[in-house]
Structure 1
Amino acid sequence: MEASLLHLLVATSSFVVSHFVMSGALRSALMARLGEQMFMLVYSFVSLGTLAWTIVAFDRAEPGPGLWEGTHPLPWLLASVLTIAALAFLLPSFARNPALPGKNAAGLGTVIPGGVFKITRHPMMWGIALWALGHAIAAPTGRSIVLMTGMIVLALVGSHLQDKRKLAGNKREFQPWQRRTSFWPQFSQFGAIGVVWIIAFLVWFLITWVHINFFGIPAGVWLWVG
């Protein structure tokens, strides 16, 4: 493996593994020793530090040849659809999301899921995973695949581990919630977010415009328009 790609692999792995370790195996011990506020400070410092390392390593890594032609209409269309879906999951995930840090779970066991939570109980993490998958399809180079695979693992394995941790910490509230919701996206419920799909498309269109006009990298319809 080329040295810069190996560097990116190490950086990305550090970013992902540090999240898993601090959220799981060492969380209780660190919080007991440091206190909640200091633990969150350390968590944020490590997360931002390893993320910055990953970004620098990605920028310095040689792209290398693609595994396929990402600008071919088929992968380009698939990547665009996945990115729009990612936004449709992500945008409404900030409201009434029991997975967010510090969210009070009181009464969650009686809540009937609505909106995006009819699709999946982890819309934010699935949004990240779909975004990463779309980018890997459109730019299937070695460095993109390493980074995007790391993001997908972080999002989906992290969500699974979070389910187990939440259930262990508050079975009374989270067991009914997890029983009423699905980890895997339910395609039959995609209509539950209605107008969010239109908003997601408009946001996607704006982001792809910024993509080409500010960074010179075509995305979405701008590969053929201009």
Structure 2
Amino acid sequence: MDPALTVLIAASIAFVGTHFVLSHPLRAPLINVLGATGFMLVYSLVAFATLGWMAHAFGQVQGSGLGGSGTAGWVIATLLTLPAMLLLLGSFIRNPALPAPGAKEAARREPAGAFRITRHPMMWGIALWAISHIVIWWSWRTNVVALAILILALVGSKLQDGKKREQMGEAWAAWEAKTSFWPRWSAMPSAGALLWLAAILGWLAATYAHIHVGDVPAGVWRWVQLG
């Protein structure tokens, strides 16, 4: 195995592993010792350090080499990233999982927007993004990072349910009863016209930026020639 790829795997494991450990088994003990602010400082430093290591290691590995999955892979990836954007944007609207005032009140409301699809729209949006990159089968470095993000999103959201039950009690239990962990794809049209419009515009912008950031045309831009 390429030594640079081994380093990337180690960095990815460190990024995901420290997130799980600090967010769950070590969270309460560290808050007791460091206080809430001190804990967030340590958590942020570790997260940025391991993310930076992963980003640096990513740049040291060859950027292609798997041959890709052809047009079929790009079509699947394109179709996955639009609902991913919808879920991601929708997750910022009245999300009881976010650490903000009024979380319990938000959990007692009827699910709306992206929460009609899943109670973890942010995590599922990120997961779909990761899957879309694996489907393309572009490079080992992309697959390693995408798999790490996929595990972080889906395992993390499942663990979050347990943490929120402890923190929010009955309010989160009621929210779980009204929502689904697994996406209800049939509910996507009911997310709302404005959210869909924002998602389409955001998706077009993000996939267009991929041309300049990743030097690879993505989304509909792979088939649309501009200028």
Partner in structure 2 of residue 90 of structure 1:
88
2:107 touches 2:174 (CA, 8 Å); kept in 1? yes
- 1:209 and 2:196 matched: no
For the residue of structure 1 that corresponds to 2:104, the secondary structure is coil
| 1:44-88 CA distance string (max 9 Å, x none) | 11101111111111111123521x533x22110110111111101
2:107 touches 2:171 (CA, 8 Å); kept in 1? yes
Q: So what's the TM-score if we normalise by structure 2?
A: 0.92
CA RMSD in angstroms, aligned pairs only: 1.7
Q: 1:130 aligns with which of 125, 128, 131?
A: 128
Partner in structure 1 of residue 218 of structure 2:
219
For the residue of structure 2 that corresponds to 1:10, the secondary structure is helix
1:133 touches 1:152 (CA, 8 Å); kept in 2? yes
Structure 1 residue 224: deviation in Å? Answer: 3.2
1:109 touches 1:172 (CA, 8 Å); kept in 2? no
Tell me, in whole angstroms, the C-alpha distance in 1 between the residues paired with 2:23 and 2:189.
33
- Name whichever of 129-138 and 147-156 sits farther off: 129-138
- Name whichever of 137-146 and 161-170 sits farther off: 137-146
Aligned pairs for 1:1-226 (under 5 A) are 1-63=1-63, 65-66=65-66, 69-70=68-69, 72-108=70-106, 110-195=108-193, 196-213=195-212, 215-226=214-225
| 1:119-163 CA distance string (max 9 Å, x none) | 000000111111111122224321111100000100110000010
Question: CA separation of 1:27/1:75 partners in 2, compared to 1, >3 Å: closer, same or farther?
Answer: same
For the residue of structure 2 that corresponds to 1:129, the secondary structure is helix
Tell me, in whole angstroms, the C-alpha distance in 2 between the residues paired with 1:134 and 1:117.
22
Which runs of 5 or more residues in structure 1 are unaligned?
none
Structure 1 residue 214: deviation in Å? Answer: 5.2
Question: CA separation of 1:199/1:105 partners in 2, compared to 1, >3 Å: closer, same or farther?
Answer: closer
Aligned sequence identity (%): 42
